[in-house]
Amino acid sequence: MNFNLTDDQRAVREAVATFAAREIAPNAAAWDRDHTFPVDVFAALGEIGIMGMSVSEKYGGAQLDAISVAISIEEISRADAGVGVTVSVHAGLITRIIEQFAREELRVAYLPKMCAGEWLGGFALTEAESGSDASALRTRAVRDGDHYVLDGRKQWVTNAGFAKALVIFARTGGAGPKGISAFLVDRETPGLMLGRKTEKLGIHSSDTTDVVLEGARVPADRLLGSEGEGYKIALASLGIGRLGIAAQSVGILAACLDTAQAYARDRRQFGSPIGHFQAVAFKIADMAVDLDAARLLLYRAAWMKDQGMQVLDASSKAKLFASTAARKHAAECVQVLGGYGYTTEFPAERYYRDAKITEIYEGTSEVQRILIARELLGRL
């Protein structure tokens, strides 16, 4: 076993960490406070190759390996988890789906601009009645000549308010997963409208908006894969997407450790830095242990993907552990900072709010346990 990163992977970490420290971290508190979606940052990330990091060079992408993609999302999330999930959905999910399942003319039309950060992508799967049970979705797509007509409402669509390209899942057949298809839908499609903008506990720099479809006419060539393959595309995408959320969680946890360490060295009580007290020191030690464990699970799953191996089980384990650890230690980071941790003067409270969502989206922690248990026990 070799746990060392390659020279290329270290270079990616250094480049993204430098960018995040310069362009993201100084603005993160203001973006969070004002609920700002920092559009210009994504164009700048496009210039350094991050918005197209999963895409082939043929379409203007950087074609990074899965470990480098995870590192990039980790380092961005360390500075701002909201920006991290925007990049994760765009560069980890949407561009990958388009390259793998869209027709060549659509790849040529969309991917170069998406790699440049000029166009963003959104993932529209969840509905009010189909969260964890994605196969129960009700949005319908009816074939009408050389178009499909889509009707329904998608909920909690990351990036929807700013996305040019939306991957939308709709029912073309009967009940159950085999009746679901996936479509690449342009934001300017007649009949597609933005619905309610979701006010959230955290990740305020990320946009979360409903998508309403009322007789939206989508050209038939926007079908991704074949009819009835949508659920398969969704499951494969979510397996990869979990790596992105695990990376986001690792980034939040790393930020918690950075903040707690610095404060424990500088803050003095009873004549000594508070890091000298076991009650504080042990919290920081536990953060460091869980950060290492979360990274190892994440990088192992990403390595497995690079080897062409099945990653559903490994990505579920990485997401489950990393998200649980991020939420737990974000609370401990607030505790280490005491009263200051509860104020907006320090970023600990933002980490605390941002961390919770990692246990929910891309499959709740309960769903991850179900998937892991099924791998071990089968469907009993």
pLDDT mean over 232-238: 88
For the ranges 62-76, 87-101, 123-137, the lowest mean pLDDT is seen at 123-137
* pLDDT of 32 strictly over 80: yes
Residue 354 tokens read as 């941002």
According to DSSP, the residues that pair with 219 across neighbouring strands are 147
According to DSSP, residue 157 is labeled: E
pLDDT above 70 (res 208): yes
The tokens for 158 are 């990351």
Classify 189 in phi/psi space as left (phi over 0), alpha (psi -120 to 50) or beta.
Answer: beta
Distance of alpha carbon 323 from alpha carbon 346, whole angstroms = 22
Strand 147-158, strand 140-144: pairing? antiparallel
Crossing angle of helices 312-337/365-377, nearest 10°?
140
Q: Taking a C-beta distance cutoff of 8 angstroms, is the pair 125, 237 a contact?
A: no
Bridge partner residues of 149 (DSSP): 142, 217
d(CA 322, CA 59): 33
Length of the chain: 380
Answer yes or no: are the C-beta atoms of 171 and 137 closer than 8 Å.
Answer: yes
Surface-to-core class of residue 356, CB atoms within 10 Å of its CB (0-12 exposed, 13-18 middle, 19+ buried) = middle
User: Quick one: what percent of the chain has pLDDT higher than 90?
Assistant: 94
| Nearby residues of 280 by Cβ (< 8 Å), 6 or more positions away | 264, 274, 336
86 pLDDT band (50/70/90 cuts)? Answer: very high
| Residue of 320, 247, 319, 330 lying closest to 283 (CA atoms) | 330
Output b/e per residue, 43-79; b: 16+ Cβ within 10 A: ebbbebbbbbbbbeeebbbbebbbbbbbbbbbbbbbb
Decide if 188 is catalytic: no
For residue range 146-157, what is the model confidence (pLDDT) as tens digits? 999 999 999 999
Q: Quick one: pLDDT at residue 129?
A: 85
pLDDT in tens, 294-343: 999 999 999 999 999 999 999 999 999 999 999 999 999 999 999 999 99
**Annotated catalytic residue, options 227, 359, 362, 375:** 362
Tell me the average pLDDT across 95-119.
98
pLDDT at residue 130 in the model: 85
| Predicted local confidence at residue 379, as pLDDT | 74
Give the H/E segment covering residue 99.
Answer: helix 95-101
Residue 235 has pLDDT above 90, yes or no: no
> Which structural domains are found in the chain, ordered by start?
7-118 (1.10.540.10), 122-227 (2.40.110.10), 232-377 (1.20.140.10)
**Mean pLDDT for all residues in the chain:** 96
The yes-or-no verdict on residue 380 having pLDDT over 80 is: no
The answer to whether residue 51 scores a pLDDT higher than 70 is: yes
Which pLDDT belongs to residue 219?
98
